[in-house]
Structure 1
Amino acid sequence: MRTTIFAFALLMLGLGNAALAKTSAEDIEQAAHRFLEAFADEQSERGYTVTFETGTIDSRLALASCQAPLAVEFTGDPWRSAQPSLQVACEGERPWRMFVTASVAIEGPALVAARPLARGERVTLDMLTTQSVQVNASRRGVMRDAGKVQGMEVRRPVNSGSVITPDLLAAPDAVERGDHVIIVARRGAFAVTSRGKALASASVGEQVLVENLRSARTVRANVVGPGRVEIPM
């Protein structure tokens, strides 16, 4: 009888300890650290070096015990911020989530100006060079592919050695005011072409007013290429 009571008491004590089990600040820090380590390894395979440090969590923190592994994800783009926030969440029977600060530096190749660039210049490959920089130091992002930059127009003066960011460049006009253009009226696979005249300048992806030279009607069309616009039928 005593043995039975003693065993029952141990069982109840174990259940009580399980009920009191908590997720500690150390558990959360370790989960965040493992996540950032995995991110660093993934970027290393792409030629980038990632260094990081997680923020300090109050050691008195104790959240409900989580039966499943803690889920961690970025809440912002780590390529646009050196201090992205992490969400650590429990998806078990008693779900919860919290946010952890982190410092993340991503070092890798990016395009920089090989010489001063003037506003309005069209970018050529000899204007660019590649250097290792902290690519997430600016929210504006960086450009890494010279092929995607070539032929674009410089929007404002750029100093030699400056990192090329997307806001420094603009797609050149594919049609200019007064240009004769091909108008494609399309419906599915069926298309009809006619000639027109652009009433304004625009780049690929923008809309422009075009005068149909046959009907003298003015239509709004999408610029799809140099000297070529398209309207739905």
Structure 2
Amino acid sequence: MPDPFCTPRSGARGAGWMGLLLAFVCLGSPARASEAQALEQAARDWIQPALAAALPTGGAAPLRTEVDVGSLDSRLRLAPCDKVEPFMPPGSRLWGRSRIGLRCVEGARRWNVYLPVTVKAFGPAWVLKRAVGAGATLTQEDAELAEVDWAAHRAGVLGTPERWVGMETAFALTPGQALREHMVRPMKAFEAGAQVRVMGGGEGFRISATGQALTAGLVGQNARVRLPGGKVVNGLVQPDQTVELPL
């Protein structure tokens, strides 16, 4: 005899979230293989909109996703529940190997269960053509575009050359690796205590002065410089080892 809790009420199959979540809760009940497949497909339909909203941008083309939804333990026998809410466990997201939590918030007995999910996101990324040593400065010739799984690692992909050309490698890299955020760091233009040239200007004029760096200068980041008169200024470090002041 069908479980009355798991039997859809009139119109429940198209009821969206609640219909899907009730289906999840009923995975512990005996079900035909075709019904289990339908539930897994419903899970994919729920996950895809959430995933689309969370996908990173900045690559050469939109990412193509693949989602593998696991199953709840067939031995589970969950108490009936009037309202089930999905949630992402702390520190997790729909990216790579993950899981979705389901909890009963209105029922005689509260419970939490987890559904395993694997997300892959394929798209073009910059992949190294040759080995690069630690501390080397990357150039455009070091990498080429290739399709990779962006979700294969938690670190974000550096989708455009502007984000990695001229940067230093944080450690030795090997051919075939997709360039990601943890692999590079800004190039150091000068050390704290060095004498540096400070530049600034506006429409029709340009000024320059020499000062002492109070902080190390990383290209593309701000550095503090003390000018001869004692004034301390903040400016953007340039690749030519100068500091550009906003005026």
- Name the residue aligned to 1:12: none
Q: Does 1:159 pair with 2:174?
A: yes
Aligned to 2:32: none
- The aligned counterpart of 1:49 is 65
- Higher percent of residues as strand: 1
SS at match of 2:152: coil
1:93-112 C-alpha deviation (Å, 9 max, x unpaired): 77765432223333322221
Q: Which residue of 2 aligns with 1:26?
A: 27
Q: Which residue of 1 aligns with 2:195?
A: 178
SS at the partner of 1:162?
Answer: coil
Letter in 1 for 2:236: V
TM-score, length basis structure 1:
0.63
What residue identity is the alignment partner of 1:141?
G
CA 1:93–1:206: 2 relative to 1, 3 Å = farther
1:88 to 102, 105, 108: 102
Residues 121 and 151, structure 2, Cα contact 8 Å, conserved in 1: yes
2:120 maps to 1:108: no
Which segments of 5 or more consecutive residues in structure 2 lack a partner in the other structure?
A: 9-20, 29-35, 56-60, 201-207
- TM superposition shift of 1:166: 1.4
Three-state SS of the structure 2 residue aligned to 1:179 is strand
Structure number with bigger Rg: 1
Partner of 1:36 in structure 2?
47
CA drift at 1:113: 0.6
The C-alpha deviation readout for 1:23-54, integer Å capped at 9, x for no partner, is 533299656443234456776x9332313122
Contact 1:51 1:105 in 2 (8 A): yes
Name the TM-score, length of structure 2 as normaliser. 0.60
What is the distance in 2 between the residues matched to 1:199 and 1:60? 62
What is the RMSD computed on CA atoms of the aligned residues? Answer: 4.0
The letter for the 1-side match of 2:72 is T
Deviation track 1:141-187 (CA, whole Å, cap 9, x = no partner) reads 3222222222212233222222212122111235553212259xxxx
- 1:131 and 2:146 equivalent? yes
1:78 aligns with 2:94: yes
Indicate if the aligned counterparts of 2:155 and 2:181 stay in contact, CA closer than 8 A: yes
Structure 1 gap ranges (5+): 1-16, 184-192
> In 2, are the aligned partners of 1:84 and 1:101 still within 8 Å (CA)?
yes
* Matches of 1:64 and 1:26, distance apart in 2: 12
How far apart, in 2, do the equivalents of 1:166 and 1:56 lie? Answer: 35
Say if 1:57 and 1:46 are closer, same or farther in 2 by CA, change over 3 A. Answer: farther
